[in-house]
Amino acid sequence: MKYLIYSLLFAGLISCEGPTPRQPVKRKTGSSIQASIERSKKLLALEEKLIQELIAKDSLHTYINSTSGSWYYYNKKNEAATYRPQPDDLVTFTYNILNFNNDTLYQMQDIGILKYKVDKQELFPGLRNSIKLLRENETATFLFPSSLGYGYPGDGDKIGINIPLKSTIAVLKIEKQGDSL
């Protein structure tokens, strides 16, 4: 009899189901993500229109569209040089940052001369891509939509939320990755 009670108790425990998980009350559809994508597309379209208006007003320069989404013109071109920075090269450069009203946010003198290991250090996306377009002793002025600048967060100081930027970048020296060792 004792074995029968233990057998029934054991069989009862084995046949019990575990707890079933509760289903979520709300299911996320991704609508907030979709709304954010739509806002970003509208902002980019507005900034690109603004860039096109600036280019149309500037009859002195011939602008070039980069593959990364910025527009630029050369202030100083070095036809003799052929080499452009590659990953791991050490580039010595300087730059400034203005808004589209030509108000200076950061001057070249304040930023100073910087050394940048290509694709290995953090710079804002537009600057990182632009350095790779210039040769040694070249200077160019770039127009960046906010997505290639500091974007939504800004820089926490002088550059606000979603501000398109204008920047003059001067590449002073390029040290090839094999040259520096």
At 74, is the secondary structure helix, strand, or coil?
Answer: strand
Q: Which pLDDT value is given to residue 23? A: 75
Q: Which pLDDT value is given to residue 181? A: 46
Band the pLDDT of 62: cuts 50, 70, 90.
very high
Cβ–Cβ under 8 Å, residues 180 and 90: yes
**Residue among 52, 134, 49 at smallest CA distance from 85:** 134
Does the pLDDT at position 100 exceed 90? Answer: yes
How far apart CA 164 and CA 162 sit, in angstroms, is: 7
With 0-12 / 13-18 / 19 or more C-beta atoms within 10 angstroms meaning exposed / middle / buried, residue 89 is buried
With 0-12 / 13-18 / 19 or more C-beta atoms within 10 angstroms meaning exposed / middle / buried, residue 144 is buried
Count of C-beta atoms within a 10 Å radius of residue 70: 25
Pairing state between β 64-65 and 138-144: unpaired
**Residue among 144, 47, 57 at smallest CA distance from 95:** 144
List the domains of the chain with CATH numbers: 66-181 (3.10.50.40)
pLDDT of 141-159, one tens digit each? 999 999 999 998 999 999 9
**Residue among 105, 86, 81, 110 at smallest CA distance from 172:** 81
Tokens 């050369």 locate to 74
What mean pLDDT do residues 157-173 have?
96
At 130, is the secondary structure helix, strand, or coil?
Answer: helix
**Residue among 170, 169, 164 at smallest CA distance from 144:** 164
What mean pLDDT do residues 99-127 have?
95
Q: Which pLDDT value is given to residue 170? A: 98
DSSP 159: S
